[in-house]
Structure 1
Amino acid sequence: ASAAAGHWRARLSGLRAVTPLPFDRPPARAHRTRADTVVDVRLTAAASAELYDFARRHRVTVNAVVQGMWAVLLWQYGGVADVCFGATVSGRTPDVPGVEAMIGMFVNTVPVRVRTDPEAELAPWLAELHAERIADRRHDHVALTSLPRPGGRPGGAALFDSIVVFENYPVDTAAFAALGADLAGLDAVEVTNYPLNVVVSAAEELALRLVYDPALFDADTCRAVAGHLVALLTAAPGAARRPLS
């Protein structure tokens, strides 16, 4: 526990403020966030294939590319190069003794801190982000409430206002078909207390769902955010050696 606490203290050291979002109506102090409204977009099959190939060639996960592009987008929106958002993880790290025999939900949300550099080349920068996430993974079980807040804010204050959820678990439709079941149109909206949520599903066409609080964002704003993220992900394979700026 002490090693995990030390890791996160070091990772979050010097983080000065919560990363700004393009709110249409900034939350009031007493606002209780309820993100339950969605915008759905997809990359084309061709763009998705190029993105998957780009990740393989540079030995990073597609999740790392998505997180990197989300960080770039937050930087572009807020003008803050040192950004932080959340990432949902399984919580079943090998460092937890006996975790493979435990039953129940271990899902956790942990911070992803990303320092953007206008002069950094995209591919090496993503490789660094990927390596940092591997280092973080050993400590993914730590409770979010125990982590230090930006600028010394109290423990109940927000550490971030957006999260990225990457879903790459397969649905075995063949197995269901063998049982006489036909699955189609599966859909669910998970309500969260974060103002803006990016849910990414790995498929032939990479699917992006923005889940947002309509009290804080207009639909047009979130459609624009989704479109900008699609544009960054589509452009990434052709920009491996270009600077982030």
Structure 2
Amino acid sequence: MRSLDEKAGPAGLSKSRRERFDLANLTKAFEQIERDIQTKKLSKDEERKLVAKSKEIATRLYALKIIHKKEDRYRNISSQYDSIKAKMNGIFDLKSELGNKIGELKKSLDVLLNLRESLYEERRKIIREVREAAAKLEMVETQLNAIEFRRSRIQASEYRQRKQKESGERRESRYEVAQERAKRSKENQDRWNTLKEAALKKMSSGEKLTFEEMKLIFGDSNNPD
């Protein structure tokens, strides 16, 4: 392994600048210097230079560790930022999507409200038509009841007139029957009287009487039959 003096030249300085950003190489160099200090026989000047170099590398290692720590923290913060940014973008996208859905829901709600108003208007129209129809039906029912009442009165009047007519006809018929019966009875009585008178004349003349003639003479004078 080359000594630190050999690394002190221009090439060593260039490599040293590169090592500022190479934590692994600086760590190896620091460990090598520590071993050289502990194992090699060095003059006081060489030991002083190595100690100074060790302090320089330790300082640079500490600075690099701080830088790496900050870089890790920065990367962590950057990663968190990217994650938060992605979440925010997702939230914004979701917000936009929700906004679109809210807009669609609002349109649907407007359509439903218009439909509800149309249905209410149709309902009011139907109720009005039903009420008008009910009023017309009630008026027609009243007229039908009046017609039925007049018809029943006419039928009752016709029935009374028919009954009176039938009663008069029956009375007239009974009178005619009585007259006809009286007429037949008178005719029978006259015929019976004539036959009886003829039978009496025949008996007074001494002629022989028949059974019917005897019945006429000696039978019930009030029953010509």
TM-score of the two chains, using structure 1 as the length reference: 0.16
Give the structure with higher Rg (CA).
2
Q: Determine which structure has the larger strand proportion and give its number.
A: 1
TM-score of the two chains, using structure 2 as the length reference: 0.17
* Higher RCO structure, 1 or 2 (CA under 8 Å, sep 6+): 1
